[in-house]
Amino acid sequence: MSMDQICLPIQHDLASVEDVLRRETTSSVEIITQVIQYMIANKGKRMRPALTILAARMAGYHGEAAATMGAMMEMVHTASLMHDDVIDNAAVRRGRPSANAQWGNQISVLVGDFFWCKACEIMVRHANPRILKAVTNTITATTEGEVLEVVKSNDINITEEEYLKVIQLKTAVLLSTCCQVGAILGDVSESYETAMKRYGFDLGIAFQLADDYLDYEAEEERLGKTTGTDLREGKVTLPLIVALKRADDTQRQSIKDAALAKAITPRQFKDVLAVIKDHNGLTYTADLARHYIAKAKSHLEPFKPSIEKDALLALADYVIERGE
Amino acid sequence: MSMDQICLPIQHDLASVEDVLRRETTSSVEIITQVIQYMIANKGKRMRPALTILAARMAGYHGEAAATMGAMMEMVHTASLMHDDVIDNAAVRRGRPSANAQWGNQISVLVGDFFWCKACEIMVRHANPRILKAVTNTITATTEGEVLEVVKSNDINITEEEYLKVIQLKTAVLLSTCCQVGAILGDVSESYETAMKRYGFDLGIAFQLADDYLDYEAEEERLGKTTGTDLREGKVTLPLIVALKRADDTQRQSIKDAALAKAITPRQFKDVLAVIKDHNGLTYTADLARHYIAKAKSHLEPFKPSIEKDALLALADYVIERGE
């Protein structure tokens, strides 16, 4: 199923998310509004609002705050994307020039800050201390994950455990919190809240694992970014970690050379990909993603059947199938 | 009076601020803790905690939250300093290598984010919605001011009004909010809260004006940064704006050349300074700073005599005298 099909039951709420995003992100400083319009027009999948709204609805909450909180989570995510792009010095984001390529690092850092402030303003206005606490702690974790990633980038000795720690912090915690915010809106009992958090967390791990193997697999057009970007940025992700562990000395050396090179040649990329495939780095990563998706789905077991539950189950499949 | 003398009555609270800063800023990611320790060891004047605490005490609040909120405001300030340094590509901060010079832009952006998250966590824990609202709105304004400054940097046609708008947003609003947070802790009536906000706001304008003329005047050692940094970074501040307005065509051209130059020579700097002095750019700026200090003090008029009021009055004088 496509993301659009999955989100059919919450189409109306997702339209409200767009309204909130437009309404809440204006500034008296013209260029801020301009950059923000550019960022939110560059839609992406709106995975975080969808999760927040589906979780809220499954938790029995049917008010308007689901869309508002969904938009807020998207703003938090966009803030971190903008800072990420500065950190990675990314030229492209979702197939279009990134904000920092367009306006420079200065504007990206500051508009990222602005997004996060606006998200915070929305939470303060909504005045739910549990949501404020959950989201604030989450951003701390996300930031820690990104720092860890920076520190570990270029480290070809990174272990699978360290890699999993990074993706838990930088990706899974935020998706988990989207589900938790939905649960808080529904005011469900603790065991249900925990189940929903866990669903989001395992979904998030699988999501990042899929991102990392798709980065090697997909065509440029399809994911809107150049294939092999991670390798070019010196990011050592699971497909490469697996290959490095199983490679012989010659193969190891060729990966090392590629990972250290200032500009990687198509030839080098092909060689590295051959080593990865030789040692089943991609299938290993895909298998692990499937494992986490199965785990994620199992956390939804205690919930009674509903269209939202079905959507969340379908979303889990989508996360690992989107590139295939 | 020195800052230490002014702060004698709140010495104990300022020691608590240091405790809070140490306690609240650890991370499981080692390098984050390391960078933060470096940043908070590089003390600066602790102007924001001092303002917060003095305002709280003058407002009749004597609990421990004054120090906690003071530390929180310092964390907000430090977050923005770290992002500022990335934006200015600053090599030096308070006489020591800046975080981005030491660890790179990536770490500075992320540890800045981390500081801001921790400040937010403290506010959430303290659970005072009025403080949360005031501080969140303030960071939005600060960010807008910084964007405006980036947009207006290198613009030698910037007017005095536009310049004042920038420094209000990027500096004055935060100092104003320190005082407001103190007032909120004291739960004073609205007219007192407004008076305290206004004191901080005018103090903040004077503070930035003083920074800007001292940048031209002071020796490298004294302010811990190289004299003429603003000009070198292409920042057009009030001393230069005044000179540009009054300069003849030849002088205007020499300033333009200096402001556009990739690397400004000592000779060029001397020439620009001569034009500025010729047109009383520094004395004009200093006079304006004194005007705002007088205004700031006048807002304290309605408050009964107290050692905290005396300290705030002395702090106002300190702000414009520190470099002289």
Q: Alpha carbon A88 to chain centroid distance?
A: 15
Question: Quick check: B133 and A124 CB within 8 A?
Answer: yes
Q: Mutate which of B25, B33, B35, B124 to test chain A, going by most A C-beta atoms within 10 A? A: B124
Distance CA A60, CA A81 (A): 31
pLDDT in the model for residue B214: 87
Per-domain residue ranges of chain A: 11-321
pLDDT in the model for residue B222: 41
Distance CA B189, CA A248 (A): 74
Q: How many CA atoms lie within 13 A of A294 on its CB side?
A: 6
Of A224-238, B141-155, B162-176, B245-259, least confident by mean pLDDT is A224-238
Residue B220, pLDDT > 50, answer: no
Tell me: the pLDDT tens digits for A197-245?
Answer: 999 999 999 999 999 988 887 644 444 445 567 777 778 899 999 999 9
Average pLDDT in chain A: 89
Closest CA to A78 of A39, A110, A50, A106: A39
Closest CA to B105 of B81, B83, B79, B78: B83
Contacts of A132 in chain B (CB under 8 A): 124, 132
**Confidence band (pLDDT; 50, 70, 90) for A94?**
low
Four-point Cα dihedral B311, B316, B322, B323, nearest 10: -170
Q: In residues, how long is chain B?
A: 324
Return the CATH number of A11-321, one of 1.10.1030.10, 3.40.50.970, 1.10.600.10, 3.30.160.110. 1.10.600.10
Contacts of A140 in chain B (CB under 8 A): 27, 114, 117-118, 121
Domain B3-321 has CATH 3.30.70.260: no
Tell me: the pLDDT tens digits for B79-111?
Answer: 998 888 887 776 666 677 777 777 878 888 889
List all residues of chain A from 131 to 160 with a beta carbon under 8 Å from chain B. Answer: 132-133, 136-137, 139-140, 143-144, 146-148, 150-151
- A–B interface: beta-carbon pairs under 8 A: 114
DSSP state of B96: E
Residue labelled with tokens 């440029």: A220
Residue A10, pLDDT > 80, answer: yes
Of A92-101, B81-90, B144-153, B230-239, least confident by mean pLDDT is A92-101
Closest CA to B58 of B188, B198, B176: B188
pLDDT in the model for residue A222: 41
Q: Alpha carbon B280 to chain centroid distance?
A: 24
Question: Quick check: A139 and B111 CB within 8 A?
Answer: no
C-alpha distances (whole Å) from B175 to each of A198, B10, B55, B134 are 42, 18, 11, 12
Question: Quick check: B113 and A148 CB within 8 A?
Answer: no
Contacts of B234 in chain A (CB under 8 A): none
Please, which residues bridge with residue B42 across strands?
none
ipTM: 0.83
Please, which residues bridge with residue B97 across strands?
B92
Residue B228, pLDDT > 90, answer: no
Q: What is the mean pLDDT of residues A50-54?
A: 98
**Confidence band (pLDDT; 50, 70, 90) for B14?**
very high
On the 0-12 / 13-18 / 19+ scale of CB atoms within 10 A, B265 is exposed
Q: In residues, how long is chain A?
A: 324
- φ, ψ of residue B93 in degrees (nearest 5): -135, 120
pLDDT in the model for residue B125: 92
pLDDT in the model for residue A218: 62
Contacts of B266 (CB under 8 A, 6+ apart): none
Distance CA B16, CA A299 (A): 45
**Confidence band (pLDDT; 50, 70, 90) for B286?**
very high
DSSP state of B218: S
Q: Taking the CA atoms of chain B, what radius of gyration do you get in angstroms?
A: 20
